[in-house]
Amino acid sequence: MSILHTVNKSAYERNALDSCLGHTKPGDSVLLIEDGVISARAGSVAGDKLAAALGETGVSIYALGADMAARGIPEDKLVDGVKVVDYAGFVDLAAENDAVEAWL
């Protein structure tokens, strides 16, 4: 079993990312969409948290490229290890995991 967790709000505005990361299991995936991508910028408070989670929790972290572009976040400013996907990749992640959990 594995879960795709979606987070659509910035870690600066809401507790959704923190709460999500506290409830993942190794093998799970976390996808940042909408304002959620703001958390993935390197050299930031939330980015450091994500980097730590990548090292400690055994989860994979993804960010939706279309939402990054809209918020002016280039791929080379992402936290190391965060992977960029498009909507087709989002669909694949939903299919590859056994359930999708939205952290609204």
Partner 1 sequence: MGDMSEGGTTKKFLYLNRKASYGTVYALESLEVVLIAAAFEQDVSLAFIDDGVYQIIKGQDTKGIGMKNFSPTFNALGDYDINKLYVEKESLDERGLTEDDLMPLVYEDEDDDWAEKPSIKIVNRAEMADLMQDQDVILSF
Partner 2 sequence: MKFGILVNEGPYQHQASDSAYLFVKAALEKGHEVTRVFFYHDGVYNGTSYSVPPLDDRQITKQWSELAKEYDVDLVLCVAACQRRGMMDDGEAERHGKGANNVAEGFRISGLGQLIETGIQSDRLVTFGD
Interaction site with a copy of itself (CB under 8 A): 12-15
- Assigned token pair, 13: 């505005």
- Assigned token pair, 50: 């994500």
The one of a copy of itself, partner 1, partner 2, none whose footprint includes residue 24, by CB under 5 to 8 A per kind, is partner 1
Interaction site with partner 1 (CB under 8 A): 1-3, 8-10, 12-13, 15, 19, 22-25, 34-35, 38, 41-47, 65-67, 69-72, 74, 77, 86, 98-104
Per the DSSP assignment, residues forming a β-bridge with 32 are 7, 63
- Assigned token pair, 53: 């989670």
Q: Dmax of the chain from CA atoms?
A: 35
Nearest distance in Å: CB 104, partner 2: 4
